[in-house]
Amino acid sequence: MHAILSLTQLMEYLKEENCIDESIVNKVKIYLNNTQVDANIFTKSKESNRLKLSFMERARFAKNKVAERIFQIMATKNTTLCVAADLTKTTDILNLAEEVGPHICLFKTHIDIVEDFHPNFLKHLQDIAQTHNFILFEDKKFADIGKTVQLQYSESIYKISSWASLVTAHSLTGKGVLDAIRESEGLKERGVFLLAETSAASSLIDGNYTQATVKLALQYTDLISGIVCQSPLFVDQPGLIQLTPGVQLDSIGDTLSQQYNTPEHVVLERGADIAVVGRGITKSADPALAAQKYKELLWNAYKKRIV
């Protein structure tokens, strides 16, 4: 079955009929250009196609130690679920970690929104992570000059480098942010997820920025655990992990430009290795049950993908 018209042709037709104006046509063209996906990505050689390799097979390709450990955790626990703990009370965060711990590989925090922060909280969180075998992941999105990033990462009251094995960073300021993280004191094994695409509908990130981010990541494979994105950008890099936020059972958005995808869609169509789920779990009456459901749906989609 084939479409009678391409989307571009349809836009031109609607413009000729005065149904839409030139600005809409241009916006659609820009969107299509920035979201092109290689039609052959799912049929490339299995030896190098991360979408067709199992996580245990991919662990041997990982050059970053944290990425290697993530692959092993995912394979052992049968989970590709990352929970976004966007909560403001330490007790709520610790309770959530205990409840969802058996079902996740990553526990993502925003430490600077915690209203009653104290150092003992981090010790308790680390203990829970060790008990349930998941990795602590601070979504800081570092984006400043190198020296400032070092202070944000290793100093301040949070001392992120001492407890978070994973952090996020923008590529906006270039390699300086990665050099700063690499050279800072803290945990010996550390990893970074570079942000190449977002799930925000109003994002200013374009295709050129995304491609430049992937290129930068490939220059720092000892430090980079993976890339945050919404499409399968690096299928020939089985040692890197695709982290995709904006996952919910109901693929709808919110009033703040967040867009959601279903677990099956994000794995099978968008190439996600790990899916980030926030409110679908944290707002549930039973977070443990919700986490288990997401875990099973995501894992089943992953198994279908590698067949």
pLDDT of residue 36: 47
What is 21-68 written as a DSSP string? -HHHHHHHHHHHHHT---TTGGGS-TTT-TTTS-HHHHHTT--SHHHH
CA distances to 216, 229, 233, 266, 293 from 299, rounded to whole Å, are 30, 19, 21, 12, 10
What is residue 14's predicted lDDT score, i.e. its pLDDT?
A: 74
DSSP single-letter state for residue 261? B
Q: How many helices (H) does the chain have, and how many strands (E)?
A: 12, 8
**Among 124, 71, 74, which residue's Cα sits nearest to residue 103?**
74
Highest mean pLDDT among 24-38, 41-55, 56-70: 56-70
Model pLDDT, residue 45: 60
Does pLDDT of 35 surpass 90?
no
Q: What is the mean pLDDT of residues 81-92?
A: 99
Largest CA distance in the chain: 66
Weakest-pLDDT range from 149-163, 195-209, 227-241, 264-278: 195-209
Query: Of the listed 139, 140, 293, 295, which one is catalytic?
Result: 139
Please say if 304 is a catalytic residue: no
Torsion over CA: 273, 278, 282, 283 (sign): negative
CB atoms near residue 80 (< 10 Å)? 28
Beta bridge partners of 245: none
Q: Is pLDDT above 80 for 251? A: no
Name the token pair of 253. 């958005």
Give the mean model confidence (pLDDT) for residues 120-125: 98
* pLDDT above 60 for 26: no
> 86: annotated binding-site residue?
yes
pLDDT-based confidence at 294, cuts 50/70/90? very high
Q: Is 258 annotated as a binding residue?
A: yes
* Catalytic residue selected from 63, 65, 144, 179: 144
Question: What count of Cα atoms within 13 Å lies in the side-chain half-sphere of residue 153?
Answer: 31
Q: Where does the pLDDT of residue 243 fall: very low under 50, low under 70, confident under 90, or very high at 90 and above? A: very high
Contact 50, 240 (CB under 8 A): yes
Which band of pLDDT confidence, cut at 50, 70 and 90, is reported for residue 258? low
293 counts as catalytic:
no
Cα gap 176→146, rounded to integer Å = 5
- By C-alpha distance, which of 53, 102, 51, 61 is closest to 79? 102
For residue 81, pLDDT over 80 is answered with: yes
* Collapsed DSSP state (helix, strand, coil) of residue 140: strand
139 is catalytic: yes
Confidence of residue 200 (pLDDT cuts 50, 70, 90): confident
- Distances in whole angstroms, Cα of residue 5 to Cα of each of 12, 14, 25: 10, 12, 15
The residue assigned the tokens 């945050």 is 228
Distance (Å, whole) CA 190 – CA 40: 33
pLDDT band at 11 (very low <50, low <70, confident <90, very high): low
Q: Mean of the per-residue pLDDT values for the chain?
A: 89
pLDDT for position 24? 64
Task: Mention the CATH class of domain 45-306.
Answer: alpha beta
179 annotated binding-site participant? no
pLDDT of 269 higher than 90: yes
HSE-up of residue 120 (Cα within 13 Å, Cβ side): 2
**213 pLDDT tier (thresholds 50, 70, 90):** very high
Q: Which residues contact 20 (CB under 8 A, 6 or more apart)?
A: 11, 14
Choose, from 29, 63, 141, 159, the residue flagged as catalytic: 141
Model confidence at 254: pLDDT above 60: no
Domain boundaries, the chain: 1-35, 45-306
Average of per-residue pLDDT across 137-162: 97
**199 labeled binding residue:** yes
How would you label 99-110 residue by residue, b for 16+ Cβ within 10 Å and e otherwise?
A: bbbbbbbbbbbe
